[in-house]
Structure 1
Amino acid sequence: MESLGELLQQMKNPSFRRQSQAIEDELFSHPLIKELRTLYPELDDSKLRLNLSRLYQYVGDKRNCDNCPGLANCPNDFQGHFSKLDVQMVNGSAEIYERKAPCSLHLTKQHDDQVKKRIRSFYVDERALNEGYKEVEIMGKDRLRAPAVQQVFHYIRETKENGLSTRGLYLYGSFGTGKTFLMSYMLHELAIAGLTGVIVYMPDFVEDLKSLMMDNVKLKESTEMMKNCDLLIFDDIGAENLNPWARDHIMGSILNYRMNRKPTFYTSNYTLEGLEKHLSFTNKDGEEGNKGQRLMDRISPFVDVVNLHGENQRGKH
């Protein structure tokens, strides 16, 4: 590092002074600084010279923003922000103050991060939650599923306009028709509106409950989250290998709490009648019709049924 004496000596050098003068002249002739002087005529040359570093930062940030390489590669000192200059009169003298303002890309990322924080997923492929959604593309992908898509769109509009209902949707259809995608789209749209959501892939969740039995804290946290979120989706219900504890104590507890409070949504390959038969059978106790019916009493009355027709989209581009 140079000593103070060396630095002072360098400043006496004619070439250094010429270089400094060239930088000053370039700054003073820059359109941004000219605009600043037009807005604030009280800014004379001496005041500008006292704030050369602020002016340099201001112009440099603007140049970087005009050639923006994207938020991740932002070259500004404070990523996603740019310098703004404010001029205020203090004791009759014009003073220049610098502040950092967020750019539009940073604000968009902040908004997207807030939306993502409102959505929690258990064992669901994150691609279904993170890919872009376009209503025209969703409608046009397969005309057979248009009626079901319209019902989901209608539910989203109603919720945005009138607030959260206690009724959810039961979306059923054959493999690969886009049930999970549609429910993820609904979560995303309503998260933008400020609602919280949880989506649970049932086969993996029920399997994982075996290990959660040994971790009461984590089990309680998970079930409380499912009970209290605004929107809860049980994805691919009917594909899990049920046991009595998962069905009666976990699912039963969650649904018992939510009914008449908050909406629960389902995707399935089963009709409601087929789901009741599935819920009536467990690997441990075999068929127990009354247990399945008890759970269905917490599902059927609180959903609108949506039959999703369409072609299997898996593997298609």
Structure 2
Amino acid sequence: MESLGELLDSMKSPAFRRKSDEIAKELLEHPLVRSLKEQHPELTEQVLRTNLSRVYQYVGDHNNCEHCPGLERCPNDFQGHYSKLDVQIVNGSPEIYERKAPCSLQISKTNEDQIRKRIRSFYVDERALEEGYNEVEIMSKDRLRAPAVHQVFRYIRDTRENGLSPKGLFLTGSFGTGKTFLMCYLLHELAKQGFTGVIVYMPEFMEDLKSMMQDNSKLKETVETMKHCDLLIFDDIGAENLNPWVRDHVLGSILNFRMNRKPTFYTSNYRLDGLEKHLSFTSKDGEEAHKGQRLMNRISPFVDVVQLFGENQRG
């Protein structure tokens, strides 16, 4: 490695100075710098040369952005950001200041991160919440589900325009028709508007509640989260194994709190009457029709039913 003295000596050489002058001349003739001078006629060549390192960074970042390899491989010093130059008059002389601005990809990622922070999922495949959504694709994938899709789109539009309604949606249909996908789409779109949401896969949630009974603080935190979020989705309700305590004191408590306050959504292979029969039966106490009716009184009046037709997409 050469010594500092040798490095300083090389900087004094005519060849080094010629190379520096060539770089400076090329930079000052760059279209971006010419445009900057047109916007700020007060910028003299001397001021630009004094701030050559900032100008170099400015031009280099923009060149990298023109040939962007993607956010993860961004070659700029500050990933996802590029240099911008501001000119201000200080004590009668122009001064150049550099600042970092986020690129469109970084802005998009930041927005997506904010959306994800507003959504919590319990036992639902995260990929369903992270996939890109295309309305045209949703409509064209299976024409049979178009009426249901229109209802979901209408609900999203009405909520954007009028705010939260105490009424949610009850999506019913056969296996693999896209009920969970549509609810994830609804969550994603309304999270963009600032609403918080929780989606719960009921079969696994009900199983996990058994262990939560030994951890009262975790159970309370989970129930409070579901009570107070803006949008709550019970996914695949009717597929779980119920026990009476969970049905009456957990599910009943959540629904009792939310009714007339915030919307709750459901996906199910059952229709409402079939769900009532399911909620009336537990493995411990057998059939208790009045318990199922009591829970359905907190569900049926607070949902619009959406019948989802279509082919099984999982195949």
TM norm. shorter chain > 0.5: yes
**Mapping for residues 165-204 of structure 1, pairs under 5 Å:** 165-204=165-204
Output the CA distance in 2 between the equivalents of 1:207 and 1:228. Answer: 22
Following superposition, which runs of at least 4 residues in structure 1 exceed 6 angstroms of deviation?
none
The match for 2:83 is: 83
SS in 2 for 1:270: coil
Pairing 1:68–2:46 present:
no
Q: Which runs of 5+ in 2 are unaligned?
A: none
The match for 1:127 is: 127
Pairing 1:27–2:27 present:
yes
The match for 1:281 is: 281
The match for 1:299 is: 299
Which stretch of the first structure deviates more once superposed, 120-129 or 250-259?
120-129
Pairing 1:37–2:28 present:
no
Pairing 1:309–2:309 present:
yes
Q: CA deviation at 1:19?
A: 1.5
Which stretch of the first structure deviates more once superposed, 144-153 or 99-108?
144-153
In the superposition, the TM-score normalised over structure 2's length comes to: 0.96
Output the CA distance in 1 between the equivalents of 2:304 and 2:243. Answer: 27
Output the CA distance in 1 between the equivalents of 2:123 and 2:220. Answer: 17
**Deviations 1:106-140, CA, capped at 9 Å, x for gaps:** 11111111111111111111222122222222222
Q: Which runs of 5+ in 1 are unaligned?
A: none
SS in 1 for 2:232: strand
**Deviations 1:4-40, CA, capped at 9 Å, x for gaps:** 4333222212221122111111111111112222222
Total equivalences in the alignment:
315
The match for 1:6 is: 6
The match for 1:223 is: 223
The match for 2:272 is: 272
**Which residue type is aligned with residue 111 of structure 1?**
N
Q: CA deviation at 1:311?
A: 1.5
SS in 1 for 2:78: coil
**Deviations 1:41-65, CA, capped at 9 Å, x for gaps:** 2222221221110011011001001
Which stretch of the first structure deviates more once superposed, 15-24 or 258-267?
15-24
The match for 1:101 is: 101
In the superposition, the TM-score normalised over structure 1's length comes to: 0.96
Q: CA deviation at 1:2?
A: 5.8
Output the CA distance in 1 between the equivalents of 2:288 and 2:77. Answer: 66
Which stretch of the first structure deviates more once superposed, 127-136 or 93-102?
127-136
**Which residue type is aligned with residue 177 of structure 2?**
T
RMSD of equivalent CA atoms: 1.3
Output the CA distance in 2 between the equivalents of 1:136 and 1:41. Answer: 49
SS in 2 for 1:78: coil
**Deviations 1:228-279, CA, capped at 9 Å, x for gaps:** 0111000000000011121111101100100010010101011111111111
Q: CA deviation at 1:3?
A: 5.1
Output the CA distance in 2 between the equivalents of 1:197 and 1:4. Answer: 60
**Which residue type is aligned with residue 118 of structure 1?**
R
**Which residue type is aligned with residue 300 of structure 1?**
S
SS in 1 for 2:239: coil
SS in 2 for 1:115: helix
SS in 2 for 1:311: coil
Output the CA distance in 2 between the equivalents of 1:3 and 1:86. Answer: 37
Output the CA distance in 1 between the equivalents of 2:299 and 2:231. Answer: 14
The match for 2:116 is: 116
SS in 1 for 2:226: helix
Output the CA distance in 2 between the equivalents of 1:108 and 1:165. Answer: 29
Q: CA deviation at 1:143?
A: 2.0
Which stretch of the first structure deviates more once superposed, 60-69 or 302-311?
302-311
SS in 2 for 1:133: coil
Percent identity over the alignment is 75
Which stretch of the first structure deviates more once superposed, 2-11 or 187-196?
2-11
Output the CA distance in 2 between the equivalents of 1:16 and 1:143. Answer: 69
The match for 1:49 is: 49
Q: CA deviation at 1:172?
A: 0.7
Output the CA distance in 1 between the equivalents of 2:41 and 2:269. Answer: 72
